[in-house]
A and B are shown apart, each in its own frame.
Chain A
Amino acid sequence: MYLYVLRRLLYTLPILVGVTLICFSFIHLAPGDPINAVLPENASADVVAQVKAAYGFDKPLPVQYLIWFANVLTGDFGLSIMTRRPVLSEVGPAVAHTALLAVTAILLSFVLGAGLGLAAGMTDRRSTDRAVSTFAVFGISVPHYWLGMILVVIFAVKLHLLPATGMGPSASDLTQFGMEDFRHLLLPAITLAMIPAGIIARSVRATVAEIRRQEFVQTLKGKGLKRPRIFLHVIKNAAPPTIAIMGLQFAQLLGGSILVETVFSWPGTGFLLNAAITTRDLPLLQGTVIVLASFFVLTNVAVDIFQTLLDPRVRRV
């Protein structure tokens, strides 16, 4: 088991290095310098050259990459070009804000998706199955941006029941999280939960329906086991694939949604990435991507390990 975990962790290293390299290369494919956004509108060539040198962008690209990578290995992700704040101090709160949103959304989507998926998978009524399938397709297909705006119009602008934008009064201090903060959290979390809820509902429905058709379930029925006991057996067998899907969805949610966070002015990683991309803030972009990639990879490793614990057959695959 330990070897398995170690091997999975070692696999993550080349993936992370690859991510940094791709990110670094892609941003330099676009015309213009990373310092463009910080330069005054009418900066002369002298000013551009001086600022370039000051930020280290006058060096050849491979040298720039190696310097950055060496610094990252020592825990120094550099300073944001736009704000001159340390990248980690920018990414840290953003990750916390997005994690708050992601955890709420994944819990919501699990309750909704798994509940509906189980209901559809366990029932023999076509109407329930169709209703759940319709919800799942809607959840998967609905554009985040559109749904977010519709929810804002209904619940904030028309009904004045929930806030339209932003985090609550605790802002970056999550230890002060209160009811007002929870109200701010609801609309973006519901918006964000729709896609994973749809995916989980579809997946659980299909898995449960398939398990119900398997011989061991027929055997359990034949042995006269009551429906709740059979239900438990089905759930246990349906759990590993559902957990794998939830893990993937959670990892994706941790990456932040540029659209949802922009619609709700939620200062998370999506909002941060959007700002970093539009201002071509290379250190911030690279720092955010590497942190998010680490989360994504580590979450998947954690899910793999958890799946292995639940079902040792996975390790042999």
Chain B
Amino acid sequence: MAFTLPRRALLASGAAASLLPRAARAEAKVLRVAMTMADIPLTTGQPSQGGEGQRFMGVTVYDALINWDLSHADIAAPLSPGLALSWEVDAATKTIWTFKLRPDVKFHDGSTFDADAVVWNLDKLTKRDAPNYDQAQATQAATYVASIASYRALDAMTVEITSRAPDAVIPYQVSNIYMSSPARWKEMGGDWTKVAQKPSGTGPWILDSFTPRDRALLHANTGYWDPKRVPKCDRLVLKAMPDATTRVAALLAGEVDWVEAPPPDAVPQLKSAGMNIVTNFYPHVWPYQLSTLPSSPFHDVRVRKAANLAIDRDGLVKLLGGLAVPAKGMVTTGHPWFGKPSFDIRYDPDEAKKLLREAGYGPDKPVRVKFLISTAGSGQMQPLPMNEFVQDNMKDVGIEVTFDTMDWESLRARRRAGCEAPENKGADGLNNSWSFGDPDIGVIATSWSALKPPRGMNWGSFSDPVADDLAARAKVEFDVAKQNELLAQLHARYVDQAMWIWVVHDLNPRAMSPKVKGFVSARSWFQDLTPVSNA
């Protein structure tokens, strides 16, 4: 042993250094993260590849006018001032938003952030005839800018944004619009492809270089405007590693310090090797969205409730190695939007059978339903074994489930189309993991009958006058506390109506080397890497 330890240490340090270019192999504190993405997301401002893209190439390199406060592990991450110090909506029109900007903020290239930069960034995403318009970024931001009718600079540090209609969710949408540097774009001759290689934001990390489908190298922005969020590590290496087993091997071999989403069956091995498994709630639920059309058995609320009561969630959590918690609704219990539903989602097969009997079903007449499921996908956890587990549970109470299995992109297309679309004929449910990161996607747009596809995300055409009224009021309630109260009532209402089958909440697992310290696992899709140190 006396001779193997130094040898291993030597090789481990060689592996650590090997992720950096030779010129950069100084004595720097480096954090190496293995992401689940197969490619480096868009680097120019609006990252591609969904929540993980924003986690690693959005909130790292860039800021939005409104950021997320990711410094707490015990509460749902709230919005916080970013490049705007404050924002308010005009009391009369409820459509004109005024943002007071943060002074003395510099982009990574040294240029100044001001109101013109905000207007330039909105042009980049919305104004198709603007010289800086970028289709790639516009596509990524399309949903977030859809409510914006116009915008203008009132003075050097004040911006006015007008929405198409009163919409209290605007601040959440603004938090997804990242500010990139106009000066860098000009320096690169107005070529976004060149900007991508040398982007400039205002965020706590500066991108040095990236190799597609391999790695991105970043270093700390020591002049970051928020001194509390100047990164503790000098360098950050982001590795694209879509295969879960490969990520685990890389961590065990000492090639990375942090892996996203380790598979449940690898957790005991990782723990025995001294790795830390970090978990926390985040806005995620693994559900079945249900068709409430008259042609589906789920048209009957008793069948929907029975399906919710049929699932042994504790058993499923055990199958998942404890990396999930049973769901009691769309949002987690204790979340400001949970409310007080009277329908307690639990494992109660006897009650499920009773409800099915009341609905006219029984051993001789089982409920027959078809679910659309995917083989993999973002947030889908372990879809095949989980679906088979649920299928067995359902069969025990008299619900016979068949699956139409497809790839992730096909499932997303079927979800966008809604249950009334011809291609979804005969489908009674759809297993598409869901985020409740903002009020729209999480609570309002999924339950409002006015927002069936293609207008919104109410896949199952759920229609309930009480829910509709609450959704409409929450959408235009600008007082955050009052809006939260309406959202809680709405959530309680559709839980009572068993709008979907809610199964488990993922616990957002990460595995880290014991040398990684200081990470606060925020209850969010995004995470702050700035307080993390790596000894």
Contacts and interface: CB of A to CB of B under 8 A. Distances in A.
A164 B250 contact: yes
Interface in A35-51: 35-48, 50-51
B283 interface: no
B193 A86 contact: yes
Contacts of A265: 214, 239-241, 243, 246, 250
A149 interface: yes
Contacts, number: 185
Given A41-B435, A85-B193, A274 B38 contact: yes
Interface stretch (B394-402, B404-412, B464-472, B475-483): B404-412
B19 A169 contact: yes
Contact of B143 (A43, A85, A94, A168): A43
Contacts of A78: none
B454 A83 contact: no
Nearest to B40: A83
Nearest to A272: B213
Contacts of B39: 82-83, 275
Interface in B167-225: 192-193, 196, 211-215
A180 to B, nearest CB: 5
A84 B138 CA distance: 12
A9 interface: no
Nearest to B414: A31
B227 interface: no
B196 A85 contact: yes
Nearest to A281: B39
Contacts of A164: 246, 249-250, 252-253, 255
Given A163-B255, A271-B38, A42 B441 contact: yes
A224 interface: no
Interface in B246-270: 246, 249-250, 252-255
B449 to A, nearest CB: 16
Looking at chain A, what size class is its interface with the partner chain?
Answer: 35 or more
Interface string B108-149: 000000000000000000000000001110111111101000
Contacts of A93: 211-212
A133 interface: no
B15 interface: yes
Contacts of B22: 169, 176
A96 to B, nearest CB: 12
25 contacts: A30-B407, A31-B423, A33-B413, A37-B409, A39-B139, A41-B435, A42-B445, A42-B456, A44-B146, A51-B139, A55-B135, A83-B48, A93-B211, A152-B246, A160-B8, A165-B253, A169-B18, A169-B19, A169-B20, A171-B214, A263-B243, A267-B212, A267-B213, A271-B38, A278-B407
Interface of B: 7-8, 11-12, 14-15, 17-22, 25, 38-39, 42, 48-50, 134-136, 138-144, 146, 192-193, 196, 211-215, 239-243, 245-246, 249-250, 252-255, 406-410, 412-414, 416, 423, 435, 440-441, 445, 453-457
